[in-house]
Amino acid sequence: MPQDRLFEEMTQAVIDGSPDRARALAEQALKAGIEPLEAIDRGFKPGMDVVGEAFAQGELFIPDLIMSGEAMKAAIGVLEPELLRRKQQRQVLGKVVIGTVQGDIHEIGKTLVGTMLAANGFDVYDLGVDVPAQKFLDKVREVDADVVGLSALLTTTVLNQETVIQALKEAGMRDRVKVIIGGVPAGPEWAEEIEADGYAENATEAVEVVKRLVG
């Protein structure tokens, strides 16, 4: 198969959310002597871009984004060992710690943000849901994170986004990490009020905001 055609199929496998096809195409690319990085950047990654954009526009929905993320992961799973063997690395754009704040068990939005960030070249450390402020601080310190992402879906728990920011300040860590917030009750005004560095409406926008913050 000509290279361009192979890249197109990779893109399509991610758009279709097919981990099996993505994995097979990644293996095929390695056999054909295609650089793993090129397979990611010209093959799989453009698929995630298409899906992310369609998601933001309301043309695709949560299951689509999850399955495309799975396809992307399957491809990376094949290509990454080969990268390591060649002593190459995917360009890591930054390290992001994410989680849903204490008192809140809403998982999906935060997970989608993690999926999109990982697909776009960030190292993502997902702390899960109902995460106490201290746990965010510990992880930021441990991995030397560039950005921390705070999700909240309740009008009551959204206040805990501020709690984490206060804790970062009190620990003298506020200057070393950018803070991005998301979730239904949050908004640009709220971000400004609690002195977060950014707010994103959805997972696609979160990637843009985080890129800008680390850029």
Partner 1 sequence: MRIPILDALAAGTILVADGATGTMLQAAGLPVGQPGEAWVLERPAEIVSLHRRYIEAGSQLILTSTFGGTRTRLEKAGLGDQAEEIARRAAGLAREAAGDEIYVGGDIGPTGEMMAPLGRLTYEAAVDAFAEQARGLAAGGVDCIYVETMSDLNEARAAVEGAQQASDLPLFVTFSFDTHGRTGMGVTPAHAAGTMAGMGVAGVGANCGHAPEEVLDFLPQMQEAAPGLYLIAKPNAGIPRLVKRQAVYDAGPERMADLARQYVELGASIVGACCGSSPEHIAAIRQAVAGGG
Residues at the interface with partner 1 (CB under 8 A): 58, 60-64, 66-67, 102-105, 107-108, 130, 154-159, 184-187, 189-190, 193
Which lies closer to partner 1 via its Cβ, residue 134 or residue 155? 155
Q: How far is the CB of 132 from partner 1 (least distance, A)?
A: 10
Q: How far is the CB of 63 from partner 1 (least distance, A)?
A: 6
Cα(54)–Cα(61) distance, integer angstroms = 8
Residue 40 exposed, middle or buried by CB count within 10 Å (0-12, 13-18, 19+):
buried
Question: CB within 8 A of 84, min separation 6: which ones?
Answer: none
Which lies closer to partner 1 via its Cβ, residue 28 or residue 166? 166
Q: How far is the CB of 69 from partner 1 (least distance, A)?
A: 10
Question: What token pair was written down for 22?
Answer: 């993505």
Cα(99)–Cα(151) distance, integer angstroms = 6
Cα(206)–Cα(65) distance, integer angstroms = 14
Which lies closer to partner 1 via its Cβ, residue 58 or residue 172? 58
Q: How far is the CB of 105 from partner 1 (least distance, A)?
A: 6
